[in-house]
Amino acid sequence: MADVIKRLSLLNDAARAMTSIMDPDALLDHILELTGQVFGFDACAVLLAEPDTGALVIRRAPGLRPRGGQNLPGKVWRGGHRARLRRAQTRAGQ
């Protein structure tokens, strides 16, 4: 029950953020942090496909610096499934 209450509280926080955070990048960072809390991830990222090339580009990834370049995101994009990075660095070098 406590887990459900925590998730609903985070969802409510996300809804409030959508009406109070005017900067799209700051809003996206906040939503990604909340998503990480809900699913127990250390970091989350949003990747978008470039319209001209179809190349997958990291749009926002607060606190995440994946190792290994664009290979993993490309495989996830083509495969249509999610992936969990086990080795990543934070921007602070942790």
Could you say which DSSP state residue 57 is in? Answer: E
Q: Let me know whether 26 and 47 are in one domain.
A: no
CA 44 from centroid of its chain's CA atoms: 3
Q: Let me know whether 6 and 47 are in one domain.
A: no
Number of Cβ within 10 Å of residue 45's Cβ equals 19
pLDDT at 3: 84
pLDDT at 73: 59
- Inform me whether the pLDDT recorded for 20 exceeds 90: yes
Domain boundary among 26, 41, 56: 41
Q: What is the pLDDT of residues 32-77, one digit of tens each?
A: 888 888 888 877 888 877 888 877 778 888 876 655 545 555 566 5
Domain enclosing residue 57, as ranges: 43-94
* pTM of the full structure: 0.59
At 82, the amino acid letter reads R
pLDDT at 82: 61
